[in-house]
Amino acid sequence: MNLVVGFSAGNSWMSKIIRWFTTPFGERPVKPTHTFIRVDWSDLGTDVEFGAGARGVLPEIRTSDKNVVAAFMVRDLDAAPVMREAIRAGWVGNEYGYWNAGVTGLRKLFGGVVRHLAIRSPKTMICTEFVIRFLRKAGDMAARPDIVLPGMDEETTTAPELLAEVEKLQAFERVS
């Protein structure tokens, strides 16, 4: 099971809000607004995408790449054991962290002024949080320190920041 880390930019109301919160004043809106994990599920004969969206962290059959900004395959990593662990740990099936997303946006806008708002729900996740946790678990399980994204805060990292970090690491090969 190959592992791909993907980045996309949608036009939904949620994507527009995320773009507004993550774009510094006076700059052009940034892309991407969403990140996900994609695995090739050979038993199903298709790719399955996992990412935190409006309905929660759920699997979705990928039918099109129309909104994908970039995708990177993790070299030499079997994603099956990590996916089983993510499902077992309860990450898949969690609700979307609307509150978490709001806190992340406020922290990005106002910095240390709203640090006390870092009261996040441990039972919900946003997309970057899920992807960073997944890659850290994958790195730990496969003894691959090159993919654990040191220095990335899963609670405050935005999709553009995660994309910039992944682009720098040699363990990730750009596939689109």
- What string of pLDDT tens digits covers the 176 residues of the chain? 788 999 988 777 767 776 666 666 667 666 788 889 888 776 666 777 777 776 667 677 766 677 888 999 998 888 888 888 887 777 776 677 666 666 666 666 666 555 555 555 666 777 888 899 889 999 999 999 999 998 888 877 888 889 999 999 999 999 98
Domain span including residue 21: 3-174
Instruction: Output the CA torsion 17→172→61→82 (10° steps).
Output: -110
Q: Which residues pair with 124 in a beta bridge?
A: 95
- 66, 160 contact by CB (below 8 A): no
Give the per-residue pLDDT at 73. Answer: 93
Domain count, the chain: 1
Q: What is the pLDDT of residue 123?
A: 67
Distance CA 109, CA 171 (A): 31
For residues 17 and 125, give the distance between their C-alpha atoms in angstroms, rounded to a whole number: 17
